[in-house]
Amino acid sequence: MHWLTQPCPTPDAALYQAAHQRQAQLTKPTGALGELETVVMRLAALQRRELPTLNAVHISVFAADHGVADEAVSAFPQAVTAQMVANFLHGGAAINVLAQALGATLEVIDVGVKTALTHPALISQRAGDGTANSALHPAMSHAQLHLALQAGADAANRAHTQQADLFIGGEMGIANTTAATALYCALLDLVPLEVTGAGTGLDRAGILHKVTVVQRILNLHRAAHHDPLESLRCMGGFEIAALTGAYLRAAQLGIPVLVDGFISTAAALLAVRIQPSVHPWLFLSHMSAEPGHAFAIDALQLRPLLDLGMRLGEGSGAAVAVPLLRMACALHAGMATFAEAAVAGKL
């Protein structure tokens, strides 16, 4: 697994500056397009071209089950994971609709659904039949962790082969907000009560029960706190590990990453802890409705593009943000300069 700590390319500072200079020449007050200017300048530096594009978008959705679902931490039964994978494969989920609207490549990877599925479009890279119950045992073995990380790296490799301009990782796994919450608490020194949310729709009593389960997970695996790989192995899910591996490898291959919501940001935090040079390659798509998400946003110092109260997962929030990034690129490339439009610039 030597690839995990391989450094990522450094953004091109000269092209960032060239894009910045172009923004200053466009027919608008400097900074008038706000974050749209920032993201397009970052994309220019990452793609090493003054006029970046996001035509080819690659979406990988990783699915797996969690043993901690036995602790009744979700409003939905564990069987929903496999049922939703089938829904992805038949084109009926939100991410299918969004991917089609974007003209994006969409793939579904089984990294450990409890009930294995067979479908010609399904990529099977299973690390196990779901993780162990992390409230009682480490969620996965070292070998399983490596398999799940590699599944993510392989997805990024496919995106690179397809010359993707942007990588999006999605996830599906009943009880994965519990795993992500435990990871947030361990890595950021947070208290479960202030981080734990409703997930798939728990009521107040359900959330309080989930808090106690997260605390049990943290107590059991206290020695793993602050070690990203050990925290991931002991508390995480196969799909979170796959996302972590995908983000690491995409950045190493020079592919910008648009991070989805609460679960995906846990993987982004892990990826940055494992290899800090991943950070410039990450864009945060939206603010999740999960209360703990704000803590990771602060830790990563990334600004979400959208705040729509979304908490679906699947990569859906990231997919919704793609048109915004595309518009930023279109404005940057298509607007006239003051000289071209014969408009007087700022005095």
Catalytic residues, which ones? 314
**What's the rounded Cα separation, in Å, for the pair 71 and 78?**
11
Q: Which two tokens stand for residue 303?
A: 């600004």
Element housing 60 (H / E): strand 57-64
Contacts of 120 (CB under 8 A, 6+ apart): none
Residue 222 class from Cβ within 10 Å (0-12 exposed, 13-18 middle, 19+ buried)? exposed
CA 16 from centroid of its chain's CA atoms: 24
Contacts of 95 (CB under 8 A, 6+ apart): 59, 61, 88, 106, 170, 314, 315, 316, 319
Q: Which two tokens stand for residue 139?
A: 């969620």
Q: How far is CA 92 from CA 86, 100, 200, 221, in A?
A: 9, 11, 19, 38
Element housing 283 (H / E): strand 282-284
